[in-house]
Amino acid sequence: MSDPVSFEKNTIIVIFGASGDLAKKKTFPALFGLFREGYLDPSTKIIGYARSKITNDELYDKIEPNLKKRHGKEDDQKVKDFFGMINYISGQYDTDEGFVQLNNEIETFEKSRNISTPHRLFYLALPPSVFLPVAQQLKKLVYAKDGITRIIVEKPFGHDLDSARKLQADLAPLFKEEEIFRIDHYLGKELVKNLIPLRFGNKFLNSSWNKNSIQNIQISFKEPFGTEGRGGYFDSIGIVRDVMQNHLLQILTLLTMDRPISFNSEDIRDEKVKVLKSLAPISNDDILLGQYGKSIDGTKPSYLDDETVKPNSKCVTFAALTFHINNDRWDGVPIIMRAGKALDAGKVEIRVQYKNIPTGMFNDMPNNELVIRVQPNPAVYLKFNAKTPGLSDTTSITDLDLTYEDRYRDFWIPEAYEALIRDALLGDHSNFVRDDELDISWKLFTPLLNYIESPETPAPSVYPYGSRGPEGLSEYLKKNGFDYNGTETYSWPITSPHSS
Ligand code: BG6
């Protein structure tokens, strides 16, 4: 086990929506992961709260298949110990009764441990409709007056600028900004967390990270599956709200912000806000929208085949957008964000394409590219040109390759939720979304969403399930500054043309 820290003892963690999908697949498994690795003290008490009338054992049965074991048999005991820390309470979200019971349970625990400064973390794994009533009940009945209360909230944080502002205005009187942890799980991914050290900890990257050297940046999100029965939820959301306004925009800000003056979370978030304020409005004339149809061989369904979506829905399942940043560092550098469901691959990747060599020798060499592959198989690699080995004076493209699974074999790389829950327990806001960040992101995206959802806007073009996206994608990328060198993917090792 690597470097466990001694953890604050006797913390209370309450998970609202405990019987739901998010809690079962992400929240409880993340807590187990932290416990397994020694980052969650055994004295912690975890309470699951939801409306379903289930027993503790029924809850454990739901959770157990999602718990990851890394240390063989040793972890079987850990699972038992972990379940020993969890209790379930069934209660309503909008009446006092369940919250009174919850508070009694918490106070009894804290008394039994002689706690003078309670530490309570509330995780709201809830649909937006019950989010506010729970926050109100929490404040009224379970708030730790003489201790630390923190609440973790999950997206969606609103549906557009007005609803996000309303939600914020409703929450603000209940909880202070420093008590709120808005989760964007992309901020907990290892390679996203690595953006700040990579950029600002490497002089050569930092010096070239601007309009003088960089031609274009692409942030791509591809999923190889469609909505598959989850269309009812997705239909009113669309790909732009689902992953672009939040996850990919977070990546964009970390990629383009200036260097924070310190590691302090407010200094980091101040820089993020600054760059967000410099983003030009997204032009409706410079976007590419798509919805997936059946696969070419007819075996995979179209979006409209999903029975949970509205007939003739114009919901967008693919979008490509281009951002421009009006500041000295980035003036003239297009940043393309593209995201889609039911595509030809599953990956999330950042591609920073450098400018061509100036006119003269080597002018025809492929552009350098720094690729940060967030998932799967996290990696950072730099595509660069080198002399082909041997008695040859030709050059070829090769790479400096940091593939995590090769280089960091024995490391435990936490899941995004593990990293973020631990941050919240420690009170570190660096990887959470601040209220003003959220406001600016909605300001930026709401006009685009209004355009996409207007009845006058033409339906998105249909692309086949399992393809790269709608027709016109290559032209779109080219128009916005991306030079396709025929080397988007790269295979290793290079074989010598002379090997037999
Ligand atoms: C969620 C979206 O926020 O992120 C999903 O609602 C999407 O539609 C998911 O599939 C992607 O997350 P990850 O961690 O699997 O890349």
Q: Which atom of ligand 1 is nearest to the CA of 155?
A: 3
- Same-domain pairing of 213 and 130: no
Q: How far is the CA of 302 from the centre of ligand 1 (A)?
A: 20
* Distance in angstroms (rounded) separating the CA atoms of residues 419 and 401: 25
- For residue 229, the model assigns a pLDDT of 79
- For residue 2, the model assigns a pLDDT of 40
- Same-domain pairing of 369 and 449: yes
> In sequence order, what are the beta bridge partners of 122?
14, 151
Residue 234 located in a structural domain: yes
Q: Which of 105, 138, 154 is the last residue of a domain?
A: 154
Q: How far is the CA of 225 from the centre of ligand 1 (A)?
A: 11
Which tokens go with 158? 């609103």
Residue 168 located in a structural domain: no
User: Is 181 in contact with 150 (CB distance < 8 Å)?
Assistant: yes
Angle between helices 435-453 and 265-277 (to 10 degrees): 30
Which tokens go with 40? 């969650």
- Same-domain pairing of 17 and 73: yes
- Same-domain pairing of 350 and 473: yes
Task: Tell me, using a 6 A CB cutoff, whether residue 415 lines ligand 1.
Answer: no
Nearest to 138 by CA among 88, 86, 90, 96: 96
Task: Tell me, using a 6 A CB cutoff, whether residue 184 lines ligand 1.
Answer: no
Q: Give the model confidence (pLDDT) of 37-70 as tens digits.
A: 999 999 999 999 999 999 999 999 999 999 999 9
Backbone angles phi, psi at 281, to 5 degrees: -55, 145
Q: Which of 96, 128, 154 is the last residue of a domain?
A: 154
Q: Which atom of ligand 1 is nearest to the CA of 234?
A: 8
Q: Which amino acid is at 347?
A: K
Nearest to 291 by CA among 355, 353, 220, 235: 235
Which tokens go with 175? 């909880």
* Distance in angstroms (rounded) separating the CA atoms of residues 265 and 281: 27
Q: How far is the CA of 18 from the centre of ligand 1 (A)?
A: 19
What CATH number should be reported for the domain holding residue 450?
Answer: 3.30.360.10
Pocket test for ligand 1, best of 242, 373, 375, 433 (most atoms within 8 A of CB): 242
Q: How far is the CA of 204 from the centre of ligand 1 (A)?
A: 33
- Name the residue at shortest CA distance from atom 13 of ligand 1: 186
- For residue 486, the model assigns a pLDDT of 60
Give 495: exposed, middle or buried? Use CB within 10 Å, 0-12, 13-18, 19+: exposed
- For residue 487, the model assigns a pLDDT of 53
* Distance in angstroms (rounded) separating the CA atoms of residues 184 and 246: 7
pTM of the model: 0.95
Nearest to 494 by CA among 392, 388, 391: 388
Task: Tell me, using a 6 A CB cutoff, whether residue 242 lines ligand 1.
Answer: yes
Task: Tell me, using a 6 A CB cutoff, whether residue 243 lines ligand 1.
Answer: yes
Residue 241 located in a structural domain: yes
Pocket test for ligand 1, best of 27, 223, 316 (most atoms within 8 A of CB): 223
Low-confidence ranges of the chain (pLDDT < 70): 1-7, 486-500
Nearest to 248 by CA among 277, 216, 222: 222
- Same-domain pairing of 464 and 384: yes
**Cα dist. 450→52, 257, 302, 335, 338 in Å?**
37, 27, 24, 22, 19
- For residue 304, the model assigns a pLDDT of 96
Q: How far is the CA of 23 from the centre of ligand 1 (A)?
A: 15
Q: Which of 154, 178, 204 is the last residue of a domain?
A: 154
- Same-domain pairing of 332 and 444: yes
Residue 494 located in a structural domain: no
Q: Give the model confidence (pLDDT) of 411-424 as tens digits.
A: 999 999 999 999 99
Q: Is 324 a catalytic residue?
A: no
- Same-domain pairing of 212 and 329: yes
Q: Which atom of ligand 1 is nearest to the CA of 189?
A: 14
Residue 484 located in a structural domain: no
- For residue 495, the model assigns a pLDDT of 52
> In sequence order, what are the beta bridge partners of 120?
12, 149
- For residue 125, the model assigns a pLDDT of 95
Strand 395-403, strand 12-16: pairing = unpaired
- Same-domain pairing of 51 and 93: yes
User: Is 381 in contact with 407 (CB distance < 8 Å)?
Assistant: no
Residue 455 located in a structural domain: yes
Q: Give the model confidence (pLDDT) of 193-236 as tens digits.
A: 999 999 999 999 999 999 999 999 999 999 999 998 788 889 99
Residue 268 located in a structural domain: yes
Full domain range(s) for residue 64: 12-154
Identify the residue whose tokens are 């960089």. 214
- Same-domain pairing of 219 and 94: no
- Same-domain pairing of 297 and 383: yes
* Distance in angstroms (rounded) separating the CA atoms of residues 315 and 346: 21
SS3 category, 28: helix
Nearest to 83 by CA among 107, 105, 101, 61: 61
> In sequence order, what are the beta bridge partners of 347?
222
- Same-domain pairing of 149 and 197: no
| Angle at 29 (CA atoms; ends 28, 35), nearest 5 degrees | 90
- Same-domain pairing of 307 and 391: yes
Residue 374 located in a structural domain: yes
- Name the residue at shortest CA distance from atom 4 of ligand 1: 243
Structural domains counted in the chain: 2
439's torsion region: left (phi>0), alpha (psi -120 to 50) or beta? alpha
Task: Tell me, using a 6 A CB cutoff, whether residue 198 lines ligand 1.
Answer: no
What CATH number should be reported for the domain holding residue 114?
Answer: 3.40.50.720
List the catalytic residue out of 119, 185, 247, 429.
247
Q: Give the model confidence (pLDDT) of 374-414 as tens digits.
A: 999 999 999 999 999 999 889 999 999 999 999 999 999 99
Q: Which atom of ligand 1 is nearest to the CA of 374?
A: 16
Q: How far is the CA of 106 from the centre of ligand 1 (A)?
A: 33
Q: How far is the CA of 243 from the centre of ligand 1 (A)?
A: 7
Sheet containing 148-154, strands listed edge to edge, beginning at the edge strand earlier in sequence: 86-90, 45-50, 12-16, 119-124, 148-154, 180-183
